[in-house]
A = this chain, B = another copy of it.
Amino acid sequence: MESITKNAISIEKVQSSKIALVDFDNLAFGSVFSDHMLVCDYRNGAWENPKIVPYGPISLAPAAKIFHYGQSIFEGMKAYKDDTDSIFLFRPKDNHKRFNISASRMSMPELPEEYFMEGLKTLLELDKAWIPQSEGSAMYIRPFMFASGEGFHASPADAYKFMICLAPSGPYFAGKVKVLIEEKYSRSANGGVGYAKTGGNYAGQFHPTQLAKSKGYHQVIWTDDHKHENIEEAGAMNIFVRIGDTLITGPTSDRILDGITRKSVLEVAESEGIKTEVRTITVTEVVAAAKDGSLKEMFGAGTAAVISPIAGFGYRDTDYELQEVENSYAALFKKRITDIQYNRAKDPFGWRVEV
């Protein structure tokens, strides 16, 4: 079946909510989960009807291919509540679209838009009391799919599970980060899976990131795997560099994720009359700009952190600090985007979707 109505989603509610146990003023990121979750199985070449059930353990065969061959994809989204308790999503259809792009690269079945959107809205309505309202907090939404089909043959599974979990969350990062430009490890290959939101892209970053942390940095700036000459991503985020008054970000490719915050930043910049360049950023030019003072800002952009300002970077045993700037682009983009997300401002772009 390719379409679904809200009525086709079965709902089993919790007997009693856990919400009273949660301290909404001190939420970490993604570590508390709401009362319900959505589960939808793909078997015999078709998606079955989605079910909303109490959040809780799932049971899988040890031979399920998720444990062996890494067929897993996900999206990161947020839901926001305004002063009148209305609920909003931010560009949710773009997440659905990217979810299917990831699915295709990982040989997993595409999910019809109705399953994604109706499932998400129904789940959010049910658990709307869990959406936090304090500054910087939001309901983090995690749609994900993995191979539940079994077997030790290294080939695509014959069954998959799509799920959505909700995690009321505080801010992802606290404060500015110090980053290290990576020259040994790499995030992705030409012709690889770097543009897909698949689990392996993240696990592969942990070790280099831990090494960077042991040297006093918070994160790694990824460069190309061939000569480490070009700046590609900032940890699990897209990267932006401001040299003079020009905002620069790398082009998306099969190595670089087509970030929704990234493209929102570019659109806000255009509407603000900020000069933007989407082109390869070289390490050489960034180091030179840091030395001559024209490097005004660097920041990561992603759903979890929205905008993550970079305080400085390390490269070949030298640390480069970025001075505070007036009229910070990072601050401007964060304000413009979050104002739209939280329904505090008009949305000339049509990004906000009321649930």
Contact yes or no, B31 A200, CB < 8 A: no
Which listed residue (B66, B189, B304) contacts A188, Cβ 8 A? Answer: B189
Q: Given contacts A72-B70, A74-B68, is CB(A191)–CB(B200) below 8 Å? A: no
Residues from chain B with a CB closer than 8 A to the CB of A147 are 203
**Chain B, Cβ-Cβ closest to A167:** B152
- Copies of this chain present in the complex amount to 2
Instruction: Compute how far the CA of A191 lies from the CA of B188 in the bound complex, rounded to whole angstroms.
Output: 9
Question: A185: CB under 8 A from chain B?
Answer: yes
Q: A271 within 8 Å of B by Cβ?
A: no
The contact string, 1 if C-beta is below 8 Å from chain B, for chain A 306-343, is 00000000000000000000000000000000000000
Interface check A204, CB cutoff 8 A: yes
Asked if A152 and B31 sit within 8 Å, CB to CB, the answer is yes
Beta-carbon contact of B192 and A153 below 8 Å? no
A interface size (C-beta, 8 A): 73
**Known A62-B163, A70-B70, A163-B62: A225·B191 in contact at CB below 8 Å:** yes
**Interface pair B156/A210, CB less than 8 Å apart:** yes
Q: Which of A30, A67, A146 counts the most B-chain CB atoms under 10 A from its CB?
A: A67
Q: Provide the residues of chain B in CB contact with A188, threshold 8 Å.
A: 189, 192
**Which of the residues B60, B156, B167, B203 comes within 8 Å of A72, measured between beta carbons?**
B203
Point out the residues of chain B lying under 8 angstroms from A1, CB to CB: none
Q: Which of B62, B184, B201 contacts A58 (CB 8 A)?
A: B62
Binds B, one of A6-14, A104-112, A116-124, A275-283: A104-112
Interface residues of A in 199-216 (CB under 8 A from B): 199-207, 209-210
Cβ B71 vs Cβ A203 within 8 A: yes
Query: Bound complex: CA of A278 vs CA of B235, how far in Å?
Result: 36
Per-residue contact bits, chain A 162-190, to B (CB 8 Å; 1 contact, 0 not) = 01010101001000000000101111111
Say whether B72 contacts A62, CB under 8 Å.
Answer: no
Chain B residues within an 8 Å CB radius of A104: 207
Closest residue on chain B to residue A57 by CB atoms: B59
Nearest CB of B to A219, in Å: 10
- Chain B residues closer than 8 Å to A187, beta-carbon distance: 189, 192
B151 touches A30 (CB 8 A): yes
Which positions 58-83 of chain A face chain B at CB distance < 8 Å? 58-63, 66-72, 74, 76
Give the residues in chain B near A62, CB-CB below 8 Å. 33, 37, 55-58, 163, 165
A236 interface residue, CB < 8 Å from B?
yes
A203: contacting residue among B31, B106, B202, CB under 8 A: B106
Q: A29-B153, A57-B62, A188-B189 are in contact. List 8 more A-B contacts (CB 8 A).
A: A30-B151, A59-B59, A60-B60, A68-B74, A155-B209, A156-B210, A186-B190, A189-B189
Residues of A within 8 A of B (CB): 28-31, 33, 37, 55-63, 66-72, 74, 76, 104-107, 140, 142, 144, 146-147, 150-156, 163, 165, 167, 169, 172, 182, 184-193, 198-207, 209-210, 225-226, 235-236, 304
